[in-house]
Amino acid sequence: MKTLKHLLSGLTYTCLHGNSDIDISSVIYDSRKVNPGSLFICIVGANSDGHKFIPDVVAKGAACIVVSRDIPEIEAMLIDGDTPYMIPDTVTVIKVEDTRYAMAFISAAWFGNPAEKLTVIGVTGTKGKTTTTYMVKSILEHAGLKCGLIGTIEIIIGDEHIHAENTTPESYLVQEYFSRMVEAGITHVVMEVSSQGLMLHRTQGFIFDIGIFTNLEPDHIGPNEHRDLDDYIHCKSLLFKQCRHGIFNTDDSHTSRILEGHTCDVLTYGITTDDADIKADNIQLINRPGILGVEFDARIPDREQPVHITLPTPGYFSVYNALCAISICHMLGIAEGVMQAGLANTKVKGRVEPIHVSDDYTLLIDYAHNAMALESLLTTLKAYDPGRLVCLFGCGGNRAKSRRYEMGEVSGRLADLTIITSDNPRDEEPQAIIDDIKTGISKTDGKYVEISDRKEAIAYSMKNALPGDIIVLAGKGHEDYQEIHGVKHPMDERDLIADILKEL
């Protein structure tokens, strides 16, 4: 139990109805979970409005309702025939300007402000968030620190791994995870901070110790996301009005706009910008049987000699991710040898993930599921001068057809062979999706085969691999299912590969 006044202490609010001097048994934003004594927060989403569920939560015994509308507006929404719904005298109604913003502060208070007991590191950007968070976690754990993680793939609390539904969870869940981390003795947490999470106030209610900007490309613009690039940039920049220390990729052309209005101190990293605080020099690609990687020297302030870094993942984007992680750990005072060991041992599921099946060719799994990501991936891999670059991918159903045309054109242009297969067809026929991808490939001279069954397609790529080939399975990444007509069927590409090896 906590008092309502305590939960509202970080907010500006108006008590429209009832008494604010009451006890609260739980904080709820899903009407189905309300119980006697609950505080229910009316969240306005893309498809529903929590205000419409007020009669339901009152019937279940809610003690307080947090709204963003005046009572006459609410009663007009809830009219039944000619009789408006009247809120009972026993229920307290609190009005705030934005219920999502309020939920963040209420949740933080409910869980005892756990972020104050943690070093919280937030990473935002179009690309690199996931890999960077795992790099930081690996380095900190090599330093003997206990580090939690919140991100696209999973939430990690000690030995517990929780499947992630969103890159940045709802604010209540963020605070719940922080609280559980504190209970588990964790001292640091690194989390992905999406533009949607910032826009929807999921990371309000606390201050980040360190905020990081990796890069920005025109993604996530459209219905239910960001109206235009300016809005996307603005939402990304919000993190740097909510952190003590900021780290920025100075090579990115959008950094100056991200910095507008920042309230944090600034550290920069980069490859091409000479005045970056932390810089990579002498970048060399590593291409050994079954292994692709990169090594470089990191120039770090106050360190007499550059730190030599070896990464088990390929490409310049891996260097950027590592520079970002080095910048964070430099700010935390981590020793050079610990950084080297942590980076060399970082493993990220589905992010240019090597699956060693042969010394003759390289097999990788990656999450690239749009044209921008696929072009970046294939361009990176071509720099390793493979015998052939083989790209296996499909596209999701119930999504824009333009993505299929674009990905088909990118693969046809950059890969020596494209194997078109199925991804998550959802409610569409796999063959119809494949035909759309072929439309894109037809704009190029690229060679392709089509094999609808993904396991058969992977088997084909392995059976027909030639020495020196690089084969990338794109699109699924960390996912361990295939969605068909609303049902998620278990399917992990690592398991498929293991089965194929047994059959071979």
DSSP classification of residue 221: B
State which of 60, 90, 109 marks the end of a domain. Answer: 109
Query: Based on the domain organization, do 398 and 457 belong to the same domain?
Result: yes
Query: Based on the domain organization, do 462 and 363 belong to the same domain?
Result: yes
Burial class of residue 410 (count of CB atoms within 10 Å of its CB; 0-12, 13-18, 19+): buried
State which of 324, 344, 364 marks the end of a domain. Answer: 344
**What domain range is 362 assigned to?**
353-503
The pTM of this model reads: 0.93
CATH code for the domain in which residue 148 is found = 3.40.1190.10
How far apart CA 305 and CA 282 sit, in angstroms, is: 14
Cβ neighbours of residue 208 under 8 Å, at least 6 residues apart? 120, 121, 122, 239, 242, 243, 244
Query: Based on the domain organization, do 357 and 241 belong to the same domain?
Result: no
Per-residue pLDDT of the chain (504 residues; tens, 9 = 90+): 899 999 999 999 999 999 999 999 999 999 999 999 999 999 998 788 999 999 999 999 999 999 999 999 998 889 877 788 889 999 999 999 999 999 999 999 999 999 999 999 999 998 899 999 999 999 999 999 999 999 999 999 999 999 999 999 999 999 999 999 999 999 999 999 999 999 999 999 999 999 999 999 866 555 566 567 888 899 999 999 999 999 999 999 999 999 999 999 999 999 999 999 999 999 999 998 768 999 999 999 988 899 999 999 999 999 999 999 999 999 999 999 999 999 999 999 999 999 999 999 999 999 999 998 999 999 999 999 999 999 999 999 999 899 999 999 999 999 999 999 999 999 999 999 999 999 999 999 999 999 999 999 999 999 999 999 999 999 999 999 999 998 999 999 999 999 999 998
How far apart CA 219 and CA 235 sit, in angstroms, is: 13
Helices (H), 184-305: 195-199, 229-237, 255-258
**What's the pLDDT score for residue 226?**
59
Contact present, 333 and 443 (Cβ < 8 Å)? no
CATH code for the domain in which residue 26 is found = 3.40.1390.10
**What's the pLDDT score for residue 225?**
65
Both tokens of 95, joined, read: 């009005």
